[in-house]
Structure 1
Amino acid sequence: MSAADARGRRASLAEQASRWVVRRSGQPLPPEAQAEFDAWYQADIRHAEAYDRLARVWRRMGDIDQARLAKRPARGRKATVAALLAIATAWPVWQFSRDAHPGADYASGNALRVVELPDGSRVTLDAESAIALDYAAGKRVVRLLAGRALFEAAPAAQDGPAFTVTTPDASATALGTRYTVERQEHGTRVAVHEHRVQVRCRICTDDRADILDSGDSVQVSADGIVRGASPSEAAPDWSQGLLSFNDVALPAAAAQLSRYTSKRVLVLGDAARNARISGTARLADPKRALELLLAQTSVRITDLPGLLLLR
């Protein structure tokens, strides 16, 4: 079974379990429906495990009035099922996203990782990032497989190879430098914090290359090399264990912070989805960071096994 098939099967099972939890949370089921549930529950141990896990979560969501749930109109029940399904699928999908990348020499989990390379270069991997090395004769190449990393390149030996970071979109060659490379959904971002970097578009038809100075950044994609906002810091905040938010929508901030915790962070309800936050968060304790960031809002945190619910 492929990974995609496995994820689909887990999601399908979670949906079945979530619907049974909602149906059984109000009045007792009619005999025919109860018999149908019993047959489903007993048909496979995975059915029972999925149902029991979700039922425990459902009971712990203390602000949900289960006695009124069965009386809600169909539209309301559908919204409730959707919310529970999001919780149901959080564990398997989240765990899958944290699996190691095949072929990686170094990978990070939900925390930063600092790596010393054979030539003395230093790499700070952000959470959920991975690199592979190619240090064969005449090479100093690092492939960024996922995420982002801060690179501090050691000087090349006399007549030795330059230090280069590659992604499918771009290559970034150090000219005695500190710089960040980040893989994004539609390309690669390179930001220079010290000295200079030569950035080449690997997928452009004209094989374009630009030289970036300290304070420069670019986005590289099939559309070419596009200059972006210039970084002013000597190193990015995240590499120092910090994230700063300035009037950021809570779902976007939660998505960033969720990378630094073993728990899935879910934002539920209009009030939470519409909230905006400002402040600086310490990545070592994302829950505490969220508590401080949300102190001036009506949004509250529910801490569940494997989940932080913001609502």
Structure 2
Amino acid sequence: MSWLGDNPDEAAAAWDARLRGARTTDADHKAFQAWLQQDSEHQRAYDRLQSALRTLRAHADLPELSALRDEARNTVHASRRRRMAGALALAAGIAAIVTVGALPKQEAGLAVVAEQVDEQIYATRPHEWTRVTLADGSLVTLDGNTRMAVRLGEHRRDIRLVGGRALFKVAKDQGRPFVVKAGNRTITALGTLFDVRVTPRELRVTLAEGSVAVRPAAGGPRLPQQILKPSQQLVAVAGSATPLLRSVDIQNALAWAERQFFFEDEPLATAVEEINRNADLQIIVDPSVADLRINGMFRVSDETAFIEALKLTLPIEVRPDRQGRLIITRAGARVAAM
């Protein structure tokens, strides 16, 4: 591919930009894997870039980065190759700032530890949504307000979904199981498509293709593993000993990845958690209405339509509080000032 050039670092930046694009194809992912395997320096260059970009995301608010952000803006009208090289230089500069003393010593030490264990951190803020391609070729879609840690080893691929929601399209590798830890469960797959959502209230695992095994994590409840089949969903509610296994409509269950939410007999509190992860305006549910059920499909980030639907179908009232949030209470209930 002539657009890659001979410099591994520039090529890594070019691949990163291409794989983040909205028009990425399966052929692109296969070509990327072929490029990685072509030369060990390609993998090292891609890993260097991802490390620098993680540093950028983690420390984007540092005052020391303002000059580098100005430099990035100045590359907008440059040629495509120059923009890629500029992006790489920007990321490398940020990595240098963070590791050479711009951070407090404790934070700098933590950054070194993260590099030593080779764990990559991905995080989105509320209202953000992104797709990332891991070094093994797996594609992960991250919902808003989601945090994920990735460690790809020689014999195993370990993922920690700390909070939020992610859709995993796992690259097949029979010799390296793909293991996701979420809450007090682990989900193991070899090559498949599945969705995981973890909140303080519950864990949900939804299988679209292939097969996954869900078992308690170390220190979790002593329960047998459960093997999911396509169109099955496992729901483990906090405080409940036995998880629920049910059949679901996959298109509806994964609608969030297409920027829609489908709720079917969903507890109001659970639905609001989904909306809040993608909304500018935060909604608070009073415990008295948390278990009311909601049905319908809504566009992500359209909290106004969601609230209006609630008013029409549920015995609730919605009031703003002094912090600019919306408080949902039972109709007619007296509410103390917040």
TM-score of the aligned structures, taking structure 1 as reference length = 0.53
Aligned residue in 1 for 2:249:
232
| Distance verdict in 2 for CA 1:244–1:162, change over 3 Å | same
| Distance verdict in 2 for CA 1:242–1:212, change over 3 Å | same
Q: CA contact under 8 A between 1:277 and 1:294: conserved in structure 2? A: no
Aligned residue in 2 for 1:144:
161
| Distance verdict in 2 for CA 1:263–1:190, change over 3 Å | same
- The one-letter amino acid of 1:226's match is P
Residue of 111, 124, 128 corresponding to 2:141? 124
Q: How much does 1:177 deviate?
A: 0.8
Q: CA offsets, 1:104-142, max 9 Å, x none?
A: 711122233222211111112222211001013333111
- The one-letter amino acid of 1:258's match is N
Aligned pair count reads 207
Q: CA RMSD in A?
A: 3.9
Aligned residue in 2 for 1:290:
307
Moved more, 126-135 or 178-187: 178-187
| Distance verdict in 2 for CA 1:240–1:250, change over 3 Å | same
Higher relative contact order (CA closer than 8 Å, sequence separation 6+): 1
TM-score of the aligned structures, taking structure 2 as reference length = 0.49
Q: CA contact under 8 A between 1:248 and 1:278: conserved in structure 2? A: yes
Correspondences of 1:273-288 after superposition (within 5 Å)? 278-288=295-305
Mapped to 1, the partners of 2:126 and 2:293 lie a distance apart of: 24
Residue of 141, 162, 169 corresponding to 2:184? 169
Q: CA contact under 8 A between 2:183 and 2:198: conserved in structure 1? A: no
Correspondences of 1:105-254 after superposition (within 5 Å)? 105-111=121-127, 112-156=129-173, 160-185=175-200, 188-202=203-217, 203=219, 208-219=224-235, 226-234=243-251, 236-246=254-264, 253-254=271-272
Q: How much does 1:181 deviate?
A: 1.9
Mapped to 2, the partners of 1:183 and 1:153 lie a distance apart of: 19
Mapped to 2, the partners of 1:222 and 1:169 lie a distance apart of: 11
Q: CA contact under 8 A between 2:130 and 2:143: conserved in structure 1? A: yes
Secondary structure of 1:208's match? coil
Q: CA offsets, 1:152-192, max 9 Å, x none?
A: 10111xx6312221235222111321112222436643221
Structure with greater Cα Rg: 1
Secondary structure of 1:109's match? coil
Secondary structure of 1:229's match? strand
Secondary structure of 1:147's match? strand
Q: How much does 1:226 deviate?
A: 3.4
Mapped to 1, the partners of 2:170 and 2:235 lie a distance apart of: 21
Identity within the alignment, %: 28
Moved more, 168-177 or 145-154: 168-177
Mapped to 1, the partners of 2:169 and 2:147 lie a distance apart of: 16
- The one-letter amino acid of 1:210's match is Q
Q: CA contact under 8 A between 2:176 and 2:190: conserved in structure 1? A: no
Q: Structure 2, unaligned stretches of length 5 or more? A: 1-113, 330-338
Secondary structure of 2:246's match? coil
Q: Structure 1, unaligned stretches of length 5 or more? A: 1-101
